[in-house]
Structure 1
Amino acid sequence: MTKHPVFDGHNDLLLRLLRGDVTAQGVADGLADGHIDKPRAIKGGFGGGMFAIFVPSPSDKAVRDEEMQQPTYDLPLPPPIEERVARDWTDRGFAALDDLRLAGAIQLCRTADEVQAALSGDAMAAVAHIEGAEAIDRDFEVLHGYHARGLRSLGPVWSRDTVWGHGVPFRFPSDPDIGPGLSDAGKALVKECNSLKILVDLSHLNEKGFDDVARISDAPLVATHSNAWAVTPHSRNLTDRQLDMIRDSDGMVGINFASAFLRPDGQMDADFTLDIVLRHFDHLIDRLGETRVGLGSDFDGALVPKPINDCAGLPRLLAAFASHGVDDSLMAKISHGNWLRVLRQTWGA
């Protein structure tokens, strides 16, 4: 166990498995590309995190990344995903988690105590997360079934619309006040998640939807992979008003490594120094306090800064924090302690 193992708020490794790009055994043994595998996790102190099950739209991510290199952009969102299609994909996502567990790459965790215990081992601590709740039925029978299989975190939307609410587009410059709030079904979903003690993820949700969750939820407000709008005015980032609401709920934010959400110019370009990450860190610490900031890398789902490169590069980020004046106590909070706190508060164990 490294001195400061990292628990990470969001990764998309499962998407690579579901697309057939890699195998579970490959993740366990080591991969030639991507951001996460077991050997690099051990090398970089990547203790685990939220493993997202995300249903992709039939669109070209490379084209989207190219468009996000323009000075301004406003990318059209793909249409909603059918419930039947989303459920089949999500079922496969849980099966992929099982494959990773059987290969010895992860330990599937249902409690904060299990996460904390797994951080000291070689297998990554994995919390099952659904990003975009298209697979969930209105009666929540499927939600209860997924909870029994280990689901402990859920985002009602990715950026495209769902029956539950509305996400923010990939738009720069822009604030997140785009579109209406949660539907009545979405409000019921938040209440059901509270009942099951499933964390409700605010990343990707638009501002009115964010406000609806804040009014309804009895749990800390959490954005697993978002940054500070005051530093980078991108629709995907959080305004100071939103950050203050998260602070007041004793929630937290995981810093997203996606280049376009870090760079003040909003560009999807990984060629920049970690000073920009530190600017977001300083602002988040200033608004949220030291107990409410962590990491939410978006590994295997985003173009991350070259100085980090992959999960083996996390020590370079922690070294940058240390050079910036972060002491040992705060480093422990940022790397994993704050996540353990908010998971215990949300899950009750």
Structure 2
Amino acid sequence: MIQPHAVFDGHNDLLLRLWLQNAPTEAVNRFLTGSLSGHLDLTRMRQGGFFGGLFAVFVPPVGFVKQHRDGYGTEKHDALAIVEAQIALLQAIEAQSAGRAKICRSAAEIDRCRRADILALVLHIEGAEALDGELSQLDGWIAAGLRSIGPLWNLANRFGTGVTGNFPGSPDSGDGLTEEGLNLLRVCNRRKLLIDLSHMNEKAFWQTARHSSAPLVATHSNVHALCQQPRNLTAPQLEAIAASEGFVGVNFGTAFLRADGQRNGDTPLSDIIRHLDGLMAILGEDRVGFGSDFDGISVPDALGDVAGLPRLTAAMASAGYGEALIEKICWRNWLSVLKKTWGE
């Protein structure tokens, strides 16, 4: 058996998976007891060395929910209610875990969880459409543990337009941030919330680079030169991230890894390493980590799920990555950029 490395991960969609269940509260119990389907549950996280990450709250398109949740109607699709329901599920994981999981608000808390074998839960919002123009919900979300926010997903909202388009394509896919979006950046900087670039189109990216005072962070994105998905990052974008002392978490989704852009499970782990190498060529070895997108995408069959992380780190070692570099990519770099962003 391969010995797991400690792993902190920049993005997963566990809360969406739980919320889509017909009985979400029972699904929380299945997560804690190791019997939940998908990429993640607590048992497999421990097998893989996964000790924490950013857990996304996401409002999916209504058509997607209808496909995955029985009896769902358009009248139920209230973005604010969905966000608050998913936040409640994260709180339920903590409350029902008997001390095995904790919502963390600082890098120091995350590291204490790592040392104590406690799952570190960081609340992240992916797509801010549930916020009103006055951002009146933000204080309550921060009190619940919010430490990271992506203003945009693929679809437009009051804050701007997300990156869209087919493979192969450019990230220059439409209008950027609105005035309300620029104000959200200012508020995030003031409140020391991480701003996620991963679903921003090129215009929004460069607006953020100009107006944000925080390190530029893309929690789950890859190298556009290696896979021309519009959501992957170009060399000038990566250079801007490096200049800001920012960070990129490599996405394990096959469609964002493969040169042909296909969602094909027959994708070698070397494709993840190829993107790690491409990121480090511009960002250096201190600004790269994991942003798996577990439970949100199709991952290589060779990885399978979170329990397969030791196979990835073994492949990294076989590719010549030393132990210190593997440890940086697995968790140290994430904690470094979070501390720089949060000031804690």
For the superposition of Structure 1 and Structure 2, which TM-score range results when normalised by the shorter chain?
A: over 0.9
Deviation (angstroms), 1:170 = 4.5
Contact 1:4 1:336 in 2 (8 A): no
Residue 48 of structure 1 is matched in structure 2 by 52
- State whether residues 165 and 173 of structure 2, in contact with CA within 8 Å, keep that contact through their aligned partners in structure 1: no
Aligned partner of 2:315 in structure 1 is 320
Code of the residue aligned with 2:174 in structure 1: it is G
Q: Deviations over 1:188-235 (max 9, x none)?
A: 000000010000000011000000111111100000000000100110
Partner of 2:213: 218
User: Matches of 1:139 and 1:218 in 2, distance apart?
Assistant: 21
What are the residue-to-residue correspondences of 1:259-298 with 2, within 5 Å? 259-298=254-293
Distance (Å, rounded) in 1 between the aligned partners of 2:170 and 2:65: 23
Corresponding residue number in structure 2 for 1:19? 20
| Amino acid aligned to 1:324 | A
Name the CA distance, whole Å, in 2 between partners of 1:236 and 1:161.
15
Does 2:71 correspond to 1:93? no
Instruction: Give the 3-state SS of the residue equivalent to 2:137 in structure 1.
Output: helix
- Counterparts of 1:223 and 1:270 in 2: how far apart (Å)? 24
Distance 2:16 2:116 in 1: 24
Q: Is residue 38–residue 123 contact of structure 1 (8 Å, CA) maintained in 2?
A: no
* Per-residue deviation, 1:4: 2.9
Post-superposition CA distance 1:42-96 (Å, at most 9, x none): 1110111000000011234999xxxxxxxxxxxxxxxxx99x8111111111110
- 1:170-189 counterparts in 2 under 5 A? 170-189=165-184
The 3-state SS of whatever aligns with 1:47 is strand
One-letter code aligned to 2:46 = I
Once the two structures are TM-superposed, the CA of residue 265 in structure 1 deviates from its matched residue by 0.1
The letter of the residue matching 2:32 is A
> Structure 1 residues 22-31 or 158-167, which shifts more?
22-31
In structure 1, distance between residues paired with 2:194 and 2:284:
21
Corresponding position of 1:307: 302
* Distance apart, 1:15 and its partner CA: 0.5
The 3-state SS of whatever aligns with 1:175 is: coil
Aligned to 1:346, the other structure's residue is in SS state helix
Instruction: Classify 1:146/1:255 alpha carbon distance in 2 versus 1 (closer, same or farther; 3 Å).
Output: same
SS of the aligned residue for 1:141 comes to coil
Within-5 A mapping of 1:1-349: 4-20=5-21, 23-60=27-64, 85-104=78-97, 106-349=101-344
Does the residue aligned with 1:290 lie in a helix, a strand or coil?
A: coil
Contact 2:11 2:294 in 1 (8 A): yes
CA distance in structure 1 between the partners assigned to 2:38 and 2:4 by the alignment:
25
Q: Residue type of the partner of 1:312? A: A
SS at match of 1:172: coil
- Structure 2: tracts of 5 or more residues without a match: 68-73
Query: How far 1:277 sits from its partner (Å)?
Result: 1.2
Distance 1:323 1:215, change over 3 A: same
Matched residue pairs, number? Answer: 330
Secondary structure of the 1:120 match is helix
Return structure 1 stretches of 4+ with deviation > 3 angstroms: 60-63
Question: Is the 1:234–1:261 contact (alpha carbons within 8 Å) kept by the matching residues of 2?
Answer: yes
Q: For 2:315 and 2:254, how far apart are their aligned partners in 1? A: 17
Checking the alignment, whether the CA contact within 8 Å between 2:56 and 2:123 is kept in structure 1 is yes
What is the distance in 1 between the residues matched to 2:64 and 2:105? 34
**Residues 4 and 47, structure 2, Cα contact 8 Å, conserved in 1:** no
> Separation in 2 of the partners of 1:279 and 1:192?
36
Partner of 2:21, secondary structure, is coil
Describe the shift of the 1:320–1:61 C-alpha distance in structure 2 as closer, same or farther (beyond 3 A). farther
Structure 2 distance, partners of 1:243, 1:225, is 13
CA distance, structure 1, for counterparts of residue 116 and residue 329 of structure 2:
19
CA RMSD, aligned part only?
Answer: 1.8
**What is the identity, as a one-letter code, of the residue corresponding to 2:260?**
D
* Matching residue of 2:71: none
Segments of structure 1 that go 5 or more residues without pairing to the other structure are: 64-80
1:299, distance to aligned residue in structure 2 (A): 0.3
Shift of 1:136: 1.1
For 1:170 and 1:10, how far apart are their aligned partners in 2? 22
Q: Secondary structure at the match of 2:62?
A: coil
Q: How far 1:276 moved relative to its partner?
A: 1.1
AA in 2 matched with 1:85? D
Range moving further from structure 2, 136-145 or 148-157: 136-145
The separation in 2 between residues aligned to 1:171 and 1:112, in whole angstroms, is 37
On the 8 A contact 2:250/2:291 being kept in 1, the answer is: yes
1:257·1:298 contact (CA, 8 Å) conserved in 2?
A: yes
How high is the sequence identity, in percent, across the aligned residues?
A: 48
TM-score, normalised relative to structure 1: 0.91
